[in-house]
Chains A and B, each alone.
Chain A
């Protein structure tokens, strides 16, 4: 079930009605309704994986209890923490990376006479698995670091299964959500207004900008770069930067909005990432819940900023390489991670050794340079194979004349997708306050109208969100 579909609407409206009627009477029933709804939502992809989700929640709940007991007894939490993290990693590893390693080993296995068994050990990837295993791990680490207290079984299961964030994030931590589960939430006008704005805005970004750029430009440019002109490839690369932003941030906006309509607040996941003047700043604005996860649980565990400058560079590189690998077991993702890790390390070294008195780059120029580094990374990220990515760069360098794909409409969408990065940061709350003052029937009518307008503007069908596969 994808958010921007009628199916999802038909699923969401009864859930909304139930939680604000039956769910008002008892907080426990409210959470049970949300839990069942989440399993139905997830089960719409594949029922079997609902069991995996429940097993994973039970595992993390059990480990959390054991860790807390050891801490209460004044003993080290390490054995249970290690076991819990290893179990989460094992689930993630089996479903996500098993295939990659089997593929790499395939020639050896064939040589050993096991070639016939290869198709049998192929594994289907459950949707959103990396999001809920990451949530599980951070939950256990937070408890071991005494930053959060273990939640009840119901709260733990709901934290991990809550459908707005289940399949493509944002990564919601126990400290974000469990305190909100403590009592029946109150829905305020500001919350409803902000939620509806986010949902409509997300629908527009996803179904109009991202889908249009994907089908009209990006997919064609990346399908066979050797057949395209230089300008088309350049537009394709910029187009993908706008597409992936509009696609992913739209999912996050809708997730935040849907959760808010149910009475819960999520962390924001994007903050105009392409207006960053350094790559470090980019990662404070892009997929914030993942980058802060990597910072708090991986980078800090590696030693963080505690050592010398080379030690910090090593940690940055490892963190970004693993961040790349998290996206999938492909060389293109590893190169993407290495590029980001490398540039982050160079930024760090430059800060250390920058000659005194050298004037800083003007901010617009810095933004332009960082944007192009990010775009270069996206070419690896988007290309299906390493050869495909290299062909893209070679053809772009050759810059063959002509324009076939980059129509004025598509270029306009790219310009629009970049221009929205430069709106004032407080625009959303300002709009929310204005909309909150509207009478409820007007707000309902305006939402319906906005959805109809977006529907009229969009093209046939809705492509899956890019981040579903991660």
Chain B
């Protein structure tokens, strides 16, 4: 299982060092709606879960993603 920062970095094609908790959806050009769906699949692949559509819409920042993953019993 990859660390959360790596999943973000690979899906959004950005540097892992720039994945901070306050990195927000659409705050950088790399995290757009298309990349968001790539990220969703990568998260599901990495943690072997299926995300709820409401949670996908609510994933507005790295911190929020971590909070949502906790609902799936994933500590990231």
- Given contacts A188-B44, A190-B48, A436-B48, are A267 and B73 in contact (CB under 8 A)? no
The answer to whether A190 and B44 have CB atoms under 8 Å apart is yes
Q: Are A265 and B52 in contact (CB under 8 A)?
A: yes
Stretch at the interface among A133-141, A406-414, A423-431: A423-431
> Would you call A185 and B50 a contact (CB within 8 A)?
no
Please, what's the 1-or-0 string for A152-179, where 1 marks a CB less than 8 Å from any CB in chain B? 0000000000000000000010011101
Contact A190 to B47, CB < 8 A, known contacts A182-B37, A183-B37: yes
| A179-B37, A426-B72, A429-B73 known; A188 vs B57 contact (CB < 8 Å) | no
What B residues does A176 contact at CB under 8 A?
A: 53-54, 56-57
The binding surface of chain B is classed by DSSP as helix
Contact of B71 among A186, A194, A260, A425 (CB under 8 A): A425
Residue A314 lies at the interface, judged by CB distance under 8 Å to chain B:
no
Residues of A243-272 at the interface with B, using a CB-CB cut-off of 8 Å, are 260, 265-268
Q: A190 touching B50 by the CB < 8 A rule?
A: yes
Per-residue contact bits, chain A 364-389, to B (CB 8 Å; 1 contact, 0 not)? 00000000000000000000000000
Checking B41, B54, B71 against A426 with a beta-carbon cut-off of 8 angstroms, the contacting residue is: B71
Report Cα–Cα, A377/B45, bound state, in Å.
Answer: 43
How many residues from B make CB contacts under 8 Å with A? Answer: 22
Q: What per-residue 1/0 map shows which CB atoms of B22-46 lie under 8 Å from chain A?
A: 0000000000011011001100110
One of B47, B53, B74 near A265 (C-beta < 8 A):
B53
A191 touches B71 (CB 8 A): no
User: Complex formed: what's the CA distance from A398 to B37 in Å?
Assistant: 58
Question: A185: which of B41, B53, B54, B74 is its contact (CB, 8 Å)?
Answer: B41
CB-CB nearest in chain B for A288: B54
Chain A positions within 8 Å of B72 at CB level: 426, 429
**A179 x B33 contact (CB < 8 A):** yes
* Docked-complex contact A268 and B71, CB < 8 angstroms: no
Is A193 on the interface with B (CB-CB < 8 A)? Answer: yes
In the complex, the answer to whether B50 meets A260 with C-beta atoms within 8 Å is yes
Determine the distance from Cα of A182 to Cα of B36 in the docked complex, in whole angstroms. Answer: 11
Q: CB distance B50 to A195 under 8 Å?
A: yes
Provide the A259-292 mask, 1 if CB < 8 A to any CB of B, else 0: 0100001111000000000000000000010000
Kindly identify which residue among B34, B45, B52, B56 contacts A183, using a CB–CB cutoff of 8 Å. Answer: B34
**Assuming the A-B contacts A179-B36, A432-B48, are A426 and B53 also in contact, with contact meaning beta carbons closer than 8 angstroms in the complex?**
no
B51 close to chain A: CB less than 8 A? yes
- Which of B34, B52, B71, B74 has most chain A Cβ within 10 Å? B52
Which of A182, A183, A265, A266 has most chain B Cβ within 10 Å? A265
A180 within 8 A of B: yes
- Residues of chain A within 8 A of B56, CB atoms compared: 176, 179, 265
| Closest beta carbon of chain A to B74's beta carbon, Å | 8
Say yes or no: B50 contacts A432, CB within 8 Å.
Answer: yes
Least CB separation from B33: chain A residue: A179
Contact B49 A194 (CB under 8 A): yes
The answer to whether A433 has its CB under 8 Å from any CB of chain B is: yes
Contact status of A190 and B49, CB under 8 A, knowing A175-B57, A265-B56, A267-B54:
yes
Q: CB < 8 Å: which of B45, B53, B74 contacts A177? A: B53
Q: With A and B bound together, what is the CA distance between A266 and B41 in angstroms?
A: 14
For the complex, is A70 an interface residue (Cβ under 8 Å from B)?
A: no
Known: A429-B73, A430-B73. A191 touches B52 (CB 8 A): no
* Contacting pair A188 B52 (CB below 8 A): no
> How far is the CB of B34 from the nearest CB of chain A, in Å?
6
**Chain B residues with Cβ under 8 A from A430's Cβ?**
73
Closest CB in chain B relative to A192 CB, distance in Å: 9
Given contacts A183-B34, A186-B41, contact A191 B73 (CB under 8 A): no
The answer to whether A189 has its CB under 8 Å from any CB of chain B is yes
The 10 closest A-B pairs by CB, nearest first: A190-B48, A426-B73, A194-B50, A176-B53, A429-B72, A436-B48, A267-B53, A267-B54, A191-B50, A188-B45
Residues on B facing A (Cβ under 8 Å): 33-34, 36-37, 40-41, 44-45, 47-54, 56-57, 71-74
Q: A190-B49, A265-B52, A432-B49 are in contact. List 8 more A-B contacts (CB 8 A).
A: A180-B37, A183-B37, A260-B50, A267-B52, A425-B71, A429-B73, A432-B50, A437-B48
Task: Jot down 30 A-B pairs with beta carbons below 8 A, ordered by A.
Answer: A172-B53, A176-B54, A177-B53, A179-B37, A182-B37, A183-B34, A185-B41, A188-B41, A188-B48, A189-B48, A190-B44, A190-B50, A191-B50, A193-B48, A194-B49, A194-B50, A260-B50, A265-B50, A265-B53, A425-B71, A426-B72, A426-B73, A429-B49, A429-B73, A429-B74, A430-B73, A433-B47, A433-B48, A433-B49, A436-B48
